[in-house]
Amino acid sequence: MTDDHNEVQDNAAGRPVATDPRTDALIGNKLRAYFDKLLEEPVPDRILELLEQLAAKENQGKPGSEP
């Protein structure tokens, strides 16, 4: 695990990587917009059908049994 040793020497020059708060905020906004976009994607039928099968199974007993 190198995380504890090189966290401030990550760029090519080996100098500390630093971002200003504005850049951090911009990156944060982009990431959330990206994720929100993916959240809007419709859940595919095969996953909905699987969940429906499991819900029906759960209605008959406990989860954990074979679907």
Partner 1 sequence: MSTTSHDFTRSMMSAIPSLRAFAISLTGHADRADDLVQDTIMRAWAHAGSFQAGTNMKAWLFTILRNLFTSEYRKRRREVEDVDGEYANTLASPAEQEGHVSFNDLREALAKLPDDQREAVLLVGASGFSYEEAAEICGCAVGTIKSRVNRGRARLSLLMFGEPAQP
Q: Applying CB under 8 A, which residues contact partner 1?
A: 1, 3-4, 7, 10-11, 17-20, 22-24, 26-28, 30-35, 37-44, 46-47, 50-51, 54-55, 58-59, 62-64, 67
Phi, then psi, of 46 in degrees rounded to 5: -65, -30
- Taking the complex as a whole, the smallest distance from the CB of residue 16 to partner 1 amounts, in Å, to 8
Rg, the chain, Cα only: 22
- Taking the complex as a whole, the smallest distance from the CB of residue 8 to partner 1 amounts, in Å, to 9
Q: Which residues are registered as beta bridge partners of 63? A: 65
Structure tokens at 24: 């951090």
